[in-house]
Amino acid sequence: MKSFLIDHYTKGGALRLGECPEPELRDNDVMVEIHCAGVNLLDNKIRDGEFKLILPYRLPLVLGNDVAGVDCSAFVSAAWGLGIHYTTAAIPAIAKPVTNPWDLRPGDALNKPGSHVMLFLRFTPDRKAEVMESSTGGCNGKVCRNVYPLAALLARGYQPVRFKALADDAMVVAQSTYEAEKEVPTGREIKKTAGRELRKKGKR
């Protein structure tokens, strides 16, 4: 991947645009889908060598301490009530596969290790999977609902899984629970309704 690098510490030195390998995601790492990035004053100080005694980086070094993005697995971890964050690569350790994808239940997940995870909500009337996900692409950097053909998700490598703590949960959730809420009437509509009711009472 392309990155701005420093080859040695130099006060006010220039950065070099070069290629560096993709970082390897380990068990205690977090993958964040970056939405935007910036230059922090800390980056300047690191480049100038002001922290080389306390931050022993290996050179060449890719600078970058200011990013904003989306962490899909942190959202699913929180939804499952976990006190720590499990990455997409670690989720298989705490969840069991759902052998038949059509047996997915609300609260299950569609996980693609090393890439993305979505919380399953329900099957729509036309048999598509409605999910809740945290994503920059499908949700513009927020958490939102999306609907996908289940076959398309499976073809892309998503694995249906169930959090082990929910594996024996026999609670049934009505489909209507996840349907879009009715629009709340505006103040003008409320006045119109009240006026109609008063006219009805006057006629009586």
Same domain, 82 and 170: yes
| β-pairing verdict for 159-163 and 142-148 | unpaired
Same domain, 59 and 84: no
Same domain, 112 and 25: no
Q: What is the pLDDT of residues 55-110, one digit of tens each?
A: 778 888 887 777 766 688 889 998 999 988 888 988 999 999 999 999 999 999 99
Same domain, 22 and 91: no
Query: Does any domain span residue 138?
Result: yes
**CA-to-CA distance for 41 and 111, rounded, in angstroms?**
37
Query: Does any domain span residue 85?
Result: yes
Q: What is the pLDDT of residues 140-163, one digit of tens each?
A: 777 889 999 999 999 999 999 999
pTM of the complete model: 0.57
Domain that holds residue 136: 72-176
Same domain, 56 and 81: no
Q: In 3-state terms, what secondary structure has residue 163?
A: strand
